[in-house]
């Protein structure tokens, strides 16, 4: 279906959370290189970002994982929340160190996984030697000039997610929906098909393709984004980091892009804007994002 294919991992290991949920960790790339640890945005899966991280395989030890109830992971009946994600991160990072050995590592995260890892770091957990976050969906406190705008955007997203269909007769139906979305425009060739394959799972009994992360679970995270009070100063982070924001002035502006620019202005966050991109810049401009990744790793002394 897709002209983009994620290669077989060199190593796969399943990590069991303390409530029984399973997170499947995969290792790709060059084991001798700097370790990169990557994850994805709400309702999505890290394999769908392969147009970006596939460009890094020759030089880097690339470790990818999906958050619970997403991507390659089994669906679990337990909690699906930011509090639960934060607990999961400790177990996941411990398992990566145990299975692959401790080494210097750079975290690279988009949207929901950015938001989670930023909070995890500010809470005092230095498991990474640096971090790149793409378009974190930060919502400032009530009274901030962007509060109502960000709250409104999260409301639009959670109402949309609550109503979306969880099942499709064929992945091509999900691809068609992706292609109709203005927010998802300008993806590289084959990326819509790859993301659809990555977020759907075939049910042989019903012969349907179902979302791994249900619309209800996706909506719950959008609701929580709007409720979290997290707008820290740059000096609260225990490691070097770089925020890459979408372009608030482009033709497909993303609300997180406005928040990223405000975090630069209000809180001194190290910031770069990816011109002409919306929320999914890693899939719109993968070569440029890979170049920034290489440059930042060098600037903070990891390569």
Q: What angle do CA 288, 290, 295 make, to 5 degrees?
A: 95
Note the pLDDT of residue 154: 87
Number of domains present in the structure of the chain: 1
- Domain contains 187: yes
Note the pLDDT of residue 229: 84
Positions in the chain short of pLDDT 50: 1
Residue in the block written with tokens 């950015």: 114
What the block records as the tokens of 21 is 């949920």
Judge whether 284 and 48 are in contact, CB under 8 Å: no
Stated as kind and residue range, the H or E segment containing 28 is: strand 22-29
The CATH number covering residue 21 comes to 3.40.50.1820
CA distance 198 to 217: 17
Q: Is 279 left (phi over 0), alpha (psi -120 to 50) or beta?
A: alpha
- Domain contains 89: yes
- Domain contains 4: no
Note the pLDDT of residue 253: 86
Note the pLDDT of residue 85: 98
- Domain contains 3: no
Neighbouring-strand partners of residue 23: 15
- Domain contains 6: no
Q: Express each pLDDT in 222-264 by its tens digit.
A: 999 888 889 999 999 999 999 999 999 999 888 999 999 999 9
The pTM of the full predicted model, rounded to 2 decimals, is 0.97
- Domain contains 2: no
- Cβ-based neighbour number of residue 63 at 10 Å: 23
Q: What angle do CA 191, 118, 290 make, to 5 degrees?
A: 35
Stated as kind and residue range, the H or E segment containing 84 is: helix 82-100
**Domain ranges, residue 242:** 11-299
Note the pLDDT of residue 62: 98
Note the pLDDT of residue 2: 53
Judge whether 21 and 68 are in contact, CB under 8 Å: yes
């Amino acid at each position: 279906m897709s002209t983009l294919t994620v290669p077989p991992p060199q190593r796969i290991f399943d990590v069991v959370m303390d409530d029984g949920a399973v997170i499947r960790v995969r290792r790709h790339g060059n084991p001798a290189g700097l370790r990169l640890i990557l994850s994805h945005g709400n309702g999505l899966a890290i394999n769908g970002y392969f147009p970006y991280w596939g460009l890094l395989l020759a030089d880097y030890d690339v470790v990818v994982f999906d958050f619970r109830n997403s991507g390659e992971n089994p669906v679990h009946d337990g909690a699906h929340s930011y509090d639960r994600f934060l607990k999961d991160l400790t177990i996941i990072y411990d398992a990566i160190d145990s299975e692959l050995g401790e080494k210097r590592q750079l975290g690279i995260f988009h949207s929901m996984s950015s938001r989670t890892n930023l909070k995890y770091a500010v809470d005092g957990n230095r498991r990474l030697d640096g971090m790149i976050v793409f378009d974190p969906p930060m919502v400032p406190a009530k009274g901030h000039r962007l509060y109502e705008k960000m709250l409104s955007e999260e409301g639009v997203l959670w109402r949309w997610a609550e109503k979306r269909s969880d099942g499709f007769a064929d992945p091509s139906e999900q691809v068609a929906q992706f292609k109709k979305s203005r927010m998802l425009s300008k993806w590289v060739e084959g990326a819509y098909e790859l993301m659809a394959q990555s977020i759907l799972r075939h049910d042989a009994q019903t012969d349907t393709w179902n979302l791994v992360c249900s619309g209800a679970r996706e909506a719950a995270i959008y609701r929580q984004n709007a409720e979290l009070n997290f707008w820290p100063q740059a000096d609260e982070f225990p490691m070097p980091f770089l925020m890459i924001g979408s372009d608030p002035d482009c033709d497909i502006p993303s609300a997180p892009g406005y928040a990223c620019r405000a975090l630069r202005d209000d809180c001194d966050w190290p910031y770069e804007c990816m011109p002409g991109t919306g929320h999914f810049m890693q899939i719109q401009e993968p070569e440029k994002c890979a170049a920034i990744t290489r440059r930042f790793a060098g600037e903070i002394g990891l390569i």
